[in-house]
Structure 1
């Protein structure tokens, strides 16, 4: 049978997309050119909106278990999480940022420290559970689309030489074949620096600067293993990009780069998982051309400072998947697929801006020293810290839901809520686990539920109360956890019914029974 969607690239973003589509019952085939998952550890943590999304798909316990395993075991349970202080973030290595909006749910930490290869492994396992077909060692060589679908030519591996699907999604990285085949421009700025990152055994980690350390010759980021295992070491050289990005990193090269920054040799051995990368920053001018879409690094790349690239790529996935599923099932309203670009492009554009700013602030030189002194003072101000934290975590994202005078929550990520229901206490995360739209009725209005009942084939309705949020009336929540419409308990009944029906039609199409 032909798949409904082909996803190019089985990194975390492609895997998340495939999982989200399968959750909606969509037939998916993943095509990956490498024969084995990459040992990619550029992203060292998941944070921001990604954590509650994983929670709302029932995946967070897997990631927390992996985090505990990497840290040598331990309970890592809810009680220990409550007792730990909130981790402080950084902007260009200037520490002091608190999480922008700590989740009120004690089961949802602000950060989960797992490297990217662990995220890939866990999502690969979940994709297999959901029945995603994954072809490894298979490379897409050509793409043709017409009014009814996309034809993909594939070379090597286990995939057939030709795949036909309704849609194709390029999650195949910065050098995306899918993007080039679709004729999408990838404008931006080239690399100006070189970064080496690796895991090594440090002979004397206590004698080294831990965390971000900037000198007049570059930067190091050293994270010693707490029990003497392999430590992560990063060194940034501002003298220019590497002539050969693909050249393997050697232990000698890493030692020389670190010595050049710190002014002394650092004894290390047993190099593994080494990488080199630059600070190129590019953004696709379109996320969609007909039946071809882009997500993750195929749509946007930037310097991996603050761990934002992987996180916004995963958010691309949850934004796009439900919209594609709606179209494939025949109930998507006109223009729904185009909202993927209009919503996600500005997010990546903003990330490119503030990661470029961070690279500039990391550079050596007395003028940058002055700027860093100023930024250090500014980060000490609560409003500035909140602003930067929201940028880093995507907590500032608010989509246009088409209302002239929206409720303060409309367009924003739905907050974590603990709800009182007839079945007992439930978490909002539990109600969203299936990946379906949700009307959460907190006001007990029969008319509200009656309006939504006409969309019962595609929208779940749950009545509850939320003692901690008495000012909330009802919330219409999209599968990606963003609020499509909301009302307050005191809003006029006719206004509530009109607003809810308009939002249901805008995002979830016409009801089966008018």
Structure 2
């Protein structure tokens, strides 16, 4: 008997944060994705343990933040670069969420999957991608399921299936990279006893990193409390192969003893995993009808807690564009902007994590490098730059065809509007035009995909902005500038990002 064949619009491979986010973005636009994951059950453990400010903003723009905050361990009001003793501050970036949120990845997956289920989409588990081809009209995915082999004929496939991505491998994506002298371990433990100060929730970055630096080749960090009453153990190793085999309970106990001696008594090591030192990036994020997202597109050491966050931001960038394509509203070339916008962001993450790998190496030969960076990070402009980079708040896409206003291509900060706020109005998953009556009239034929609001933009010396569903600005009208070219540029931006207008009389 021939395998069953299912025709679907988008097949999302992988139900981690990125895959669930892609599917949720599609669902907001009325596009139903098919989501598969090779694991039979949701992962109860979490390598990633933090949400950067930009990811928190995106959760806010989708109405998911309250559910996340309910179980968050802590809000950390500063960041760090390579654990150096100079806090990174977010003041410059005008974010209502200027904090790093300690929050396990598996809980985020639970929130995202719940949101997806409210749109009528469920994850198909125990389903492994084993074959993948594509032609001019669709991609064909061969999936092994508990009931047997199934074929999916999909208009597009989003590979969100992690560092060993089957979509990347079967789709033929080149994945060059390098390695550093770093490896590490992450583990979750139950404690029998510990001093009160060990059990205190962190309030600042220094609480997460510790103050001292050893000249040993192994560096352990303070225990971090988890919502389930367990504690996270993390340590870095230098000069040891990542192919050392499974993490042993003895290793975990030794790492905790290195920092705490006999003060902390571990009752049980529930889970442990090695962190790879590999740094790789797909040469292309799109090959025909196939896309790679998050760890399928880029892997690196978890320095600065960027991996999960960059992956979710990849997913939001791709999701609304795929929805526009499936809905027949995408202008030519829109899907290609996923690669051109997100590949440079991923490349920058690989670059800065390589630098952090050297800076966190406790060997004396790196002391001069650390001293230099500490001095630089104390300069306000440098501190702002690094805070923006690690938090994701500084991402600015190259939006062509307009003046170089500071908002153009950047994320739009949250501001009060005549009805609600920017972040609140983006919860529909549609674009948002903030402008006066003249510009608003130009957008009325895109009313099915562009909302209109009025707000005070004088802080940015702007009279109007057009904001994409992912929160990035694609048109700006400078304040006190009645140049008619800005109106023509609005028309061009509406066409270039949101396709042809709907029915109705065109305005001259």
TM-score, with normalisation over the residues of structure 1? Answer: 0.89
Q: Is 1:48–2:53 an aligned residue pair?
A: yes
Distance 1:62 1:362 in 2: 34
Asked whether the equivalents of residues 46 and 111 of structure 1 are also in contact (C-alpha less than 8 Å), the reply is yes
SS at match of 1:169: strand
Distance 1:359 1:269 in 2: 32
Distance 2:182 2:374 in 1: 24
Asked whether the equivalents of residues 379 and 385 of structure 1 are also in contact (C-alpha less than 8 Å), the reply is yes
For 1:349-498, what aligned pairs fall within 5 Å after superposition?
349-419=347-417, 421=418, 426-441=420-435, 444-445=436-437, 447-462=438-453, 464-466=454-456, 469=459, 471-498=461-488
Query: Which has the larger displacement, 366-375 or 113-122?
Result: 366-375
Following superposition, the deviation at residue 405 of structure 1 comes to 2.0
CA change 1:30–1:367 in 2 (3 A) is: same
Q: Is 1:26–2:31 an aligned residue pair?
A: yes
Distance 2:471 2:143 in 1: 35
Query: 1:178 — aligned with what?
Result: 167
Asked whether the equivalents of residues 414 and 483 of structure 1 are also in contact (C-alpha less than 8 Å), the reply is yes
Query: 2:102 — aligned with what?
Result: 113
Asked whether the equivalents of residues 136 and 158 of structure 1 are also in contact (C-alpha less than 8 Å), the reply is no
Distance 1:23 1:225 in 2: 34
SS at match of 2:475: strand
Match of 1:149 among 125, 138, 158: 138
Following superposition, the deviation at residue 99 of structure 1 comes to 3.2
Distance 1:506 1:333 in 2: 6
In the alignment, structure 2 segments of 5+ residues that lack a partner are 1-5, 199-205
Match of 1:38 among 43, 46, 52: 43
Query: 2:202 — aligned with what?
Result: none
Asked whether the equivalents of residues 205 and 224 of structure 1 are also in contact (C-alpha less than 8 Å), the reply is no
> Per-residue CA shift, 1:353-383, capped at 9, x if unaligned?
0011001111122121222222222222212
CA change 1:397–1:470 in 2 (3 A) is: closer
Asked whether the equivalents of residues 139 and 154 of structure 1 are also in contact (C-alpha less than 8 Å), the reply is yes
Query: 2:90 — aligned with what?
Result: 100
Asked whether the equivalents of residues 405 and 476 of structure 2 are also in contact (C-alpha less than 8 Å), the reply is yes
Following superposition, the deviation at residue 269 of structure 1 comes to 2.6
Asked whether the equivalents of residues 78 and 99 of structure 2 are also in contact (C-alpha less than 8 Å), the reply is no
Distance 2:342 2:319 in 1: 13
> Per-residue CA shift, 1:5-61, capped at 9, x if unaligned?
000000010001111111111121111000112234222111131111111111111
SS at match of 2:185: strand
In the alignment, structure 1 segments of 5+ residues that lack a partner are 72-80
SS at match of 1:26: coil
Query: 2:496 — aligned with what?
Result: 506
For 1:159-178, what aligned pairs fall within 5 Å after superposition?
161-178=150-167
Distance 2:340 2:457 in 1: 36
Query: Which has the larger displacement, 125-134 or 91-100?
Result: 91-100
TM-score, with normalisation over the residues of structure 2? Answer: 0.90
SS at match of 1:233: strand
Following superposition, the deviation at residue 256 of structure 1 comes to 3.0
Following superposition, the deviation at residue 215 of structure 1 comes to 1.2
Q: Is 1:211–2:208 an aligned residue pair?
A: yes
Query: Which has the larger displacement, 500-509 or 37-46?
Result: 37-46
SS at match of 1:377: helix
Asked whether the equivalents of residues 472 and 489 of structure 1 are also in contact (C-alpha less than 8 Å), the reply is yes
SS at match of 1:315: helix
CA change 1:387–1:156 in 2 (3 A) is: same
Query: 1:77 — aligned with what?
Result: none
Q: How many residues align?
A: 487
SS at match of 1:179: helix
CA change 1:227–1:117 in 2 (3 A) is: closer
Following superposition, the deviation at residue 316 of structure 1 comes to 0.5
Distance 2:174 2:100 in 1: 34
Following superposition, the deviation at residue 231 of structure 1 comes to 2.5
Following superposition, the deviation at residue 456 of structure 1 comes to 2.1
SS at match of 2:176: strand
SS at match of 2:7: coil
* Aligned-CA RMSD value: 2.5
Distance 1:186 1:202 in 2: 44
CA change 1:105–1:294 in 2 (3 A) is: closer
CA change 1:465–1:438 in 2 (3 A) is: closer
Distance 1:170 1:117 in 2: 19
Q: Is 1:287–2:285 an aligned residue pair?
A: yes
CA change 1:205–1:474 in 2 (3 A) is: same
Following superposition, the deviation at residue 414 of structure 1 comes to 0.6
Distance 2:412 2:192 in 1: 44
